[in-house]
Each structure stands twice: as structure tokens, then as C-alpha cells.
Structure 1
Amino acid sequence: MKRTTNILLAGFIAAGSLSLISTKNVSAQLQTIYNTSYPSTIRVAIRAYNNPVSPILYVQTVGFEEYCKDVLPNEWYPSWNQEALKAGAVAVKMFGWYHTLHPVTQSGFTYDVDNTTNYQQFKYLSGQTVTDQAVQDTWNEVYTLPTGEIKELSYRAGLPNRENRGFLSTNIMSQWGSEYFGHVARMLYPNILNLYYPNYLLKFI
């Protein structure tokens, strides 16, 4: 399952009149839901056997929605509670969107993500009915900072069949925790997301 670190925006703004200028410059550079549309496609570097350390074989360009549908069942178990799947769908989408805005070049290949846990597990045409539905149900919803900045929503597995309270308010969602709070605590996905990303807001686009 997904293993990554959360990327945080950091900066220092000078005092006095320069503060306003610096703030404007930072704001102008931000890629937000207000000045950036969903990508139509995403470039996925394919590594052999979905192995994070395998060399890149080629780069596959897929539709962005198809990508999300082909990631979710490989990161969240399709048998899990639908609210957990919806929380996962939002995280998968925001993670992918962020990385389309920050492509990398390696070994002569330029790509946005790869097909492994270096980013998110992607297997082409692996979508299932329940996970596809979770992606569709949340497609017009984004989870962002109050500024609307597009950020990577990080997540990790956590421990099976537990609350995984150590992840709460860390900006890293526990996948098993999302299932616990969806299935056992009967929480809705916006509330599940808020447990992990407390400074974020659910918005419709």
C-alpha cells in the first residue's frame, strides 16, 4: 500500500510593507482549484511487475479519471465500506492531480507518477464496480486548504482492523483507519477525511 511523506508549503515573509508584496508573489505562484482544471490525462511510468525499484519500461498516458479508477482498488480494498472508499477516492485523485503539476524526468523518461508505491499502485483496467462508483460519486469534489491550493493527500496503510489513532490530524490518512471509521464508527467520508486532514475543506467544482 501507499507509502509517502506529506509535502508542506513553507516560506518566510518579510515584515512591514514587504509582507504584502511577498504574499502576493506567493499567491500568484500557487496552483489552486480556482486557476487550475483537472488534468485530462496523466503520464504513468511503468515499472516491471509494479516493483518500485525496477527500471522504467515505458511511459503510459491514460485519462485522469481512468487512472483514479485503476488506482483505488489497488490501494483500498474493494470489499471495504463505501464511505472509506470515497475517502480513498478523494485522496487518490488529489494525490494524482498534484503530481501532474510536478512532473519528473528520470532515465530519459518524463512522467507524473509511476505505477508503484513510489506514488500509487496503478494497474491498467483494474477498476471494479464499487471502486469506480466511489470515484464517480466524488468526482466533482476536491479536498484542499482554505486557499484552494492543490496539495498531495498522503496516506499509509496503518494496522489492520484498528482505529490507527496515531494518524489523526497528521495530514496522513490511514487506509485501515478509514475502513474502521467507515465500517465500525459509521462515519461519512467528509468526516473521515477531516480526521486526518483537519485544516482542509471539502469543496465542489
Structure 2
Amino acid sequence: MGSLCVASPRPASAQMQSVYNTSYPSVIRVAIRAYNNPVSPILYVQTVGFEEYCKDVLPNEWYPTWSPEALKAGAIAVKMFAWYHTLHPVTQSGFTYDVDNTTNFQQFKYLSGQTVTDQAVQDTWNYVYAPSTGEIKELSYRAGFPNRENRGFIGTNIMAQWGSEYFGQIAKMLFPNILNLYYPSYLLKFV
């Protein structure tokens, strides 16, 4: 079992952080664990540009060979997940960080971006996906089952990565429609 990470609670009087009053972070702090192993000790914390982080996560969470629409849906999920965690840092073993480089958060490998996944991040950079209140929420996702619709995930607020590919490649859905399948009470907003 991994160590417990505790986020600092937000004061009751604090204003809700939303896409309307909070800008993208410029950087994100990534705890680097040995061998990208979720249970390895933290070696150090690396500060990375926020957009670079998203570009270095997407090809490690979504296959770069997948359809452009699946990659765009993945880019939005990766970005919103990371943004949420920059607002909820954790302290563990004397290190304060936003995410780590493992599947505890999102698989991050520095400078691993690829042309097709970088393009998906760039194509969706000015879009956010949030509830109607605009609250910055973590967009959760799981692998799901290869080459299937993964209908069990639909409407659960957890996207199936393989499902995003199925709907992008086979059903020819656009990324906003793919996101809407999994996060039905959320809205795509241009920022």
C-alpha cells in the first residue's frame, strides 16, 4: 500500500476556484519517483511548465496512434486533472508537490511528447470542461477494456480511455461528444 497523501483543506470563506476566476497555472510541481514506480520513494520534485506537462502526459496515457478525437478528449482530461491538482497540493516525506510521475496521478515522462499528441493538446488548449458552475474539477479516467465501447463507464464521470478511442475511431464522434458521454453534467467552455 502507498503512503497517504493529504491535501490541505480550503478555508470555508475561500471563493470557489473556477474557470471564470482562475487562470491556468504556469507551472506544475511533479514528484519524481524512482523508475516511475507508484510505491517508490520520492527522489525530488521537478517544476515543469504546465503545457509541457500536459504534452508529456498525453502520449503516456493515450496511445499516440489513436484517433485525433480520442486524443483531444484525452488532452482535455489530462489538463483538467492536472489543473485541479495544482490547486490541491500534497505534502509527503517532506516534499510538497501537485502530482507525481506515476499512475498515482498521471504517467509523466519528461520530454516524451509526440507530434500528434502535442497537436491534440494545442488544439484543445483554449477549451476547458467543467460543471456549469465553472468549478475546476478533476476529470478522472481509467483504461477500460481494449477495442470496446466501455458502456459501463458512460455517465459515471470517469472516462474509459479505450472507450474514447472506440467512439472516436469507430463511431466517428467528435471530442466534445466523447467527453459528454462520460461527464454528462459538464460543459465545454472556450477560455
Q: TM-score range by the shorter chain?
A: over 0.9
The structure 2 residue matched to 1:156, chosen from 122, 130, 142, is 142
In the superposition, relative to structure 1, how do residues 59 and 78 fare at CA in structure 2: closer, same or farther (>3 Å)?
Answer: same
What secondary structure, in the 3-state scheme, does the structure 1 residue paired with 2:128 have? strand
TM-score w.r.t. length of structure 2: 0.93
What secondary structure, in the 3-state scheme, does the structure 1 residue paired with 2:28 have? strand
TM-superposed CA distance for 1:34, in Å, is 1.1
The alignment of Structure 1 onto Structure 2 pairs a total of residues equal to 181
* Stretches of structure 1 lacking an aligned partner (at least 5 in a row): 1-24
Name the CA distance, whole Å, in 2 between partners of 1:27 and 1:140. Answer: 30
Name the CA distance, whole Å, in 1 between partners of 2:41 and 2:14. Answer: 37
Structure 1 residue ranges, 4+ long, deviating more than 4 angstroms after superposition: 25-28
Match of residue 5 from structure 2? none
In the superposition, relative to structure 1, how do residues 27 and 150 fare at CA in structure 2: closer, same or farther (>3 Å)?
Answer: farther
Name the CA distance, whole Å, in 1 between partners of 2:82 and 2:104. Answer: 12
RMSD: 1.2
TM-score w.r.t. length of structure 1: 0.87
The structure 2 residue matched to 1:135, chosen from 121, 132, 143, is 121
Name the CA distance, whole Å, in 2 between partners of 1:185 and 1:34. Answer: 33
Deviations 1:135-156 (A, max 9, x none): 0000000000000000000000
Share of identical aligned residues, percent?
86
* Stretches of structure 2 lacking an aligned partner (at least 5 in a row): 1-10
The 5-angstrom pairing of residues 47-58 of structure 1 reads 47-58=33-44
Is the aligned partner of 1:90 residue 2:76?
yes
Is the aligned partner of 1:175 residue 2:161?
yes
What secondary structure, in the 3-state scheme, does the structure 1 residue paired with 2:176 have? helix
Name the CA distance, whole Å, in 2 between partners of 1:34 and 1:164. Answer: 33
Deviations 1:62-86 (A, max 9, x none): 0000000000000000000000000
In the superposition, relative to structure 1, how do residues 85 and 177 fare at CA in structure 2: closer, same or farther (>3 Å)?
Answer: same
What secondary structure, in the 3-state scheme, does the structure 2 residue paired with 1:201 have? strand
- Which of the pair has more CA radius of gyration? 1
Deviations 1:76-101 (A, max 9, x none): 00000000000000000000000000
Is the aligned partner of 1:104 residue 2:90?
yes
Name the CA distance, whole Å, in 1 between partners of 2:76 and 2:171. Answer: 20
Match of residue 173 from structure 2? 187
Which amino acid in structure 1 is aligned with residue 174 of structure 2?
L
In the superposition, relative to structure 1, how do residues 46 and 149 fare at CA in structure 2: closer, same or farther (>3 Å)?
Answer: same
